[in-house]
Structure 1
Amino acid sequence: MSTLAHRCASQPPRPIPSAAVRLLSSTSAAKSLGSGTAQGEDATAPSEASIPPPLKGIRILDLTRVLAGPYCTMLLADLGADVIKVEHPKGGDDTRSWGPPFAEPDADKPLKAPEGKEDYWSSLPPESAYFLSVNRSKRSITVDLKSKEGKQILYDLAKKADVVVENYLPGKLASMGLGYDDFKRVKPDIIYASLTGYGQTGPYSANAGYDVIVAADAGLMHITGEPDRPPVKVGVALTDLTTGLYVHGAIMAAIIGRAQTGQGVHIDATLFESQIASLANIASNYLIAGQEASRHGDAHPSIAPYQTFSAADGRIMVGAGNDGQFKLLCGVLGRPDLAESPLYATNQARVANRGTLIPLLDQLFSTQPIQHWIDEIRGRIPAAPIRNIRGTFDEHPQAKARKVVTTVEHPRAGSIKILSPAVTYGKGKMKVTRPPPVLGQHTDEVLEQELGLSRKAVEELRRKGAIGQ
């Protein structure tokens, strides 16, 4: 631990500048991010952020697979952290095989494989769209965690790392000598984040927790769907993504906390608690008033109108969140008298009388096509068509203006489109520094450049099966 960190630990915590956070929180040198093809320079590329990457110099040892964990570490990579993704030599992250669709290797361009890896790269399956979605700006190494030599590689990397992130069942990595206490012995101030279904303690701690299982078990599916139909899952793995967001914030908080105290921590994050926390007002309705939730389809239990309506050519979503917006809506629909009726003048009255209000509004909307109503509303009331995914990416002018897509040059698949980071800092977004990695693409680079191993030593580890091709 640095002298500055010791001094912080002996004094009351105090706010510190972001530059000091980076200096105090990382004992890793701010190394080069290594080889890789940077973001494509084209019309779709977002402008660069007005601040430098705030996590530059922070190193993340990423032992996660599938979605919640990789999504978390990708968000950290977006902010400049050097994320080293550790994958199994045989197949890697489960999502590498989740498809179709796949980004097929570009037949017109030679693979940009490292020297001596051409046959190996050619033998790999194509890159899955699922994997590509949550692994931008990372490096990939392949290590057999069960081997003695593989464990030593992780210990040596942990000495130079700031954070370890894992999403194995509770106790699994500890039984292999790779738990929090094991890493703490080699790096006393390590931040170790565990993402699990139900947590490290409690009667369900040993249960596997996939997104849809926890969505069912913690209330989300109960409130999703039509009132007279069975519950349904949300169209994307929202519980996984919410957990990844929570842990990404928790890790940054722990980095700042370590800068103030010199201490690392074991972060115990769960899909179960993240899902419950995300129930928001639904949870509060029950905790405050004992009100059990029910399914309302595309409507809102506490606001009316706040749902889809049938226009002449499709469905339109409209949300009149207050009495003023409802009055505007009634004017647009040619029925200003509705806003004056005691049955509908207030939101409380509209919720109580939605049974008569909604069919009446639906009939009014059905007289004109969607675009007519969008043009009439002119952004004064929250309203939108129900777009499909093609419409979102290819047709939405706001998506184009905000540059939600980035083009990168992938060494196997060629030019591919991936999502941009979601947040703008000043004039632009954080740059995508690398395309999602090929399985084991950076194994030799990391072992030689970061751990100082010779080419001969790396090949010996490969011969023993401790690392992949």
Structure 2
Amino acid sequence: MSQPLSGISVLDLGQIYQGGYTGLLLSYLGADVVKVEPPWGENVRTRSDDGKPPQLQYLNATKRGITLDLKSSAGTQALTDLVAECDVLIENFATGKMAELGLGYDTLSEVNPELVYAHGSGYGDSGPYAEYPAMDLTVQAMSGVIHTTGYPDQKPVKAGPAICDFVGAVHLTLGVVSALFRRERTGEGDYVEVGMYDCMYPTLASPVSAWVAGKDTPPRTGNRHSGLSIAPYNVYEADDGYVAIICVSERHWTGLAGLMDRPDLIDAEGYDSKAARAERLEEIDALVDSWLDGRTKDAVVDALLDAGVPCAPVQTVEEIVDDPHLRERGMVNDLRNQGEGRAEIPVPGMPIKFAAVDDPEVTQAPLLGEHTEEVLAEIAGYGPEELQRLRGSADGE
């Protein structure tokens, strides 16, 4: 059986992370994704002197790559010719930028009424913030992510991963697939837009719920529960690292109390319900800390898992890229590094699995403009004269 999006062609004008990951997911779903860059390369290429940074290779595997100067008439015409034959265009330029270039949805939908045009941005196309410049850091700040991350007696900090970019990309991908599904029934294309800021609000379920409930909780709770309503719920120090432990049910607490050799606490007043234990955060954390003293993180995790208690070691980046679970599920794929640094790039695989379809093959990210002539000839029907005219435009002739 073919991949779900087999036969779908995508023009990926995405840049940095939000756009890059949207295109990557669509390629893994089976679409033929063509990454479109300016002749000098997209923004993320500037993160290394050779223009081949790991980030670009990480998020642009399994795509073909072309270069077009969209500020030139030849480049604009070439993209328009490609749009006429393609199913999807994705971009995450500043809101209104494509329209300024004469390549907005209103224009391109006339060229191809069945086009699904997907626009990712920081704040969406409407609202007071629509024209604000946006990157993952600024959206983390605006959305409350930074305010709720860190410890109450310290300044707020950003989340380590670029969560706004990637949450936004997943929502944009869902929008594209939904629009394609609708097109199957109606024959009509659509304009899909996703603002990262909108996507982050649902992630504040615990802090907002604590506010709704009128709880006098600090905005930042470190590694404890955002609403301070579960204990234990923390990251605890072992002799050689850290372990995350959480008890969300009575059986979890029973298992942990037994391991700590404190069966007396299982049914004791003040410990016999989740709500009661949440009132004893400091005391319960101290009990867990004392139990971990002298133990390694692997020994702690093994014991907790045997007792049915939710837990996990805090893994380092080095441990994650060699993680046996991720590798067995095809989520880490070692490809040759085209740039400087280690010999291989651990490129992410497809997290969505289908029973009837094998995981997609993960191939190298394209070099800058590697498939320009191939794609224009194959999709837009360009012959030698059109290709030469485009080359001349790129050379400034």
Q: Which bin holds the TM-score, normalised by the shorter protein? A: over 0.9
Instruction: Note the C-alpha offset of 1:258.
Output: 1.2
What corresponds to 2:355 in structure 1? 426
Give SS of 1:407's match: strand
Correspondent of 2:32 among 54, 58, 82: 82
What corresponds to 1:447 in structure 2? 376
Correspondent of 1:265 among 183, 190, 193: 190
Tell me which amino acid in the other structure corresponds to 1:438. L
CA separation in 2, counterparts of 1:355 and 1:290?
Answer: 17
Q: Decide whether aligned partners of structure 1 residues 145 and 279 sit closer, same or farther in structure 2, where only a CA change above 3 A counts.
A: same
Tell me which amino acid in the other structure corresponds to 2:108. F
Correspondent of 2:270 among 327, 339, 343: 343
Give SS of 1:273's match: helix
Indicate if the aligned counterparts of 2:94 and 2:131 stay in contact, CA closer than 8 A: yes
CA separation in 2, counterparts of 1:363 and 1:401?
Answer: 36
What corresponds to 1:40 in structure 2? none
Q: Decide whether aligned partners of structure 1 residues 365 and 416 sit closer, same or farther in structure 2, where only a CA change above 3 A counts.
A: closer
Indicate if the aligned counterparts of 1:77 and 1:138 stay in contact, CA closer than 8 A: yes
What corresponds to 1:277 in structure 2? 202
What corresponds to 1:8 in structure 2? none
Q: Deviations over 1:185-204 (max 9, x none)?
A: 10112111111111111121
Instruction: Note the C-alpha offset of 1:343.
Output: 1.4
What corresponds to 2:305 in structure 1? 378
Q: Within 5 Å, which residues of 2 pair with 1:41-80?
A: 51-80=1-30
What corresponds to 2:138 in structure 1? 213
Tell me which amino acid in the other structure corresponds to 2:328. A
What corresponds to 1:11 in structure 2? none
Q: Decide whether aligned partners of structure 1 residues 322 and 227 sit closer, same or farther in structure 2, where only a CA change above 3 A counts.
A: same
Give SS of 1:160's match: coil
Q: Decide whether aligned partners of structure 1 residues 252 and 291 sit closer, same or farther in structure 2, where only a CA change above 3 A counts.
A: farther
CA separation in 2, counterparts of 1:359 and 1:299?
Answer: 13
CA separation in 2, counterparts of 1:442 and 1:467?
Answer: 20
Indicate if the aligned counterparts of 1:136 and 1:432 stay in contact, CA closer than 8 A: no
Give SS of 1:181's match: helix
Q: Decide whether aligned partners of structure 1 residues 433 and 444 sit closer, same or farther in structure 2, where only a CA change above 3 A counts.
A: farther
Indicate if the aligned counterparts of 2:148 and 2:220 stay in contact, CA closer than 8 A: yes
Indicate if the aligned counterparts of 1:421 and 1:430 stay in contact, CA closer than 8 A: yes
Q: Deviations over 1:61-106 (max 9, x none)?
A: 111111101111110000111111110101x111122148xxxxxx
Q: Within 5 Å, which residues of 2 pair with 1:278-427?
A: 278-286=203-211, 294-300=219-225, 301-379=228-306, 380-394=308-322, 396-408=323-335, 416-426=345-355
Instruction: Note the C-alpha offset of 1:314.
Output: 2.9
CA separation in 2, counterparts of 1:224 and 1:179?
Answer: 38
What corresponds to 1:169 in structure 2? 94
Instruction: Note the C-alpha offset of 1:444.
Output: 0.8
What corresponds to 1:95 in structure 2? 44
Structure 2, gaps ≥5 residues long: none
CA separation in 2, counterparts of 1:333 and 1:403?
Answer: 37
User: Normalising by structure 1, what TM-score?
Assistant: 0.78
Correspondent of 1:137 among 62, 68, 71: 62
CA separation in 1, counterparts of 2:356 and 2:295?
Answer: 40
Indicate if the aligned counterparts of 1:143 and 1:467 stay in contact, CA closer than 8 A: no
Give SS of 1:303's match: coil
CA separation in 1, counterparts of 2:374 and 2:89?
Answer: 20
Give SS of 2:109's match: helix
Q: Deviations over 1:384-404 (max 9, x none)?
A: 22111111223x332343343
CA separation in 1, counterparts of 2:203 and 2:178?
Answer: 19
CA separation in 1, counterparts of 2:78 and 2:90?
Answer: 16
Correspondent of 2:81 among 156, 161, 164: 156
Instruction: Note the C-alpha offset of 1:462.
Output: 0.8
Instruction: Note the C-alpha offset of 1:428.
Output: 7.0
Indicate if the aligned counterparts of 1:147 and 1:466 stay in contact, CA closer than 8 A: no
Q: Does 1:184 align with 2:133?
A: no
Instruction: Note the C-alpha offset of 1:374.
Output: 2.1
CA separation in 2, counterparts of 1:313 and 1:93?
Answer: 42
Tell me which amino acid in the other structure corresponds to 2:153. D
Indicate the structure whose relative CO is greater, using CA pairs within 8 Å and at least 6 residues apart. 1
Give SS of 2:266's match: helix
Correspondent of 2:166 among 241, 259, 279: 241
Instruction: Note the C-alpha offset of 1:281.
Output: 3.5
Instruction: Note the C-alpha offset of 1:126.
Output: 5.3
Instruction: Note the C-alpha offset of 1:236.
Output: 0.9
Give SS of 1:464's match: helix
More moved, 219-228 vs 400-409: 400-409
Give SS of 1:340's match: coil
CA separation in 1, counterparts of 2:38 and 2:332?
Answer: 30
Correspondent of 1:460 among 368, 385, 389: 389
Structure 1, gaps ≥5 residues long: 1-50, 101-124
Indicate if the aligned counterparts of 1:99 and 1:130 stay in contact, CA closer than 8 A: no
Q: Equivalent pairs: percent with the same residue?
A: 31
CA separation in 2, counterparts of 1:284 and 1:400?
Answer: 37
Q: Decide whether aligned partners of structure 1 residues 64 and 314 sit closer, same or farther in structure 2, where only a CA change above 3 A counts.
A: closer
CA separation in 1, counterparts of 2:327 and 2:380?
Answer: 43
More moved, 245-254 vs 403-412: 403-412
What corresponds to 1:6 in structure 2? none
Give SS of 1:307's match: strand
Give SS of 1:246's match: helix
Q: Decide whether aligned partners of structure 1 residues 378 and 204 sit closer, same or farther in structure 2, where only a CA change above 3 A counts.
A: closer
Give SS of 2:223's match: coil
Tell me which amino acid in the other structure corresponds to 1:86. V
More moved, 423-432 vs 232-241: 423-432
Give SS of 1:220's match: coil
Instruction: Note the C-alpha offset of 1:289.
Output: 5.4
CA separation in 2, counterparts of 1:303 and 1:437?
Answer: 47
CA separation in 2, counterparts of 1:58 and 1:214?
Answer: 32
Q: Decide whether aligned partners of structure 1 residues 357 and 70 sit closer, same or farther in structure 2, where only a CA change above 3 A counts.
A: same
User: Normalising by structure 2, what TM-score?
Assistant: 0.92
Instruction: Note the C-alpha offset of 1:427.
Output: 7.6
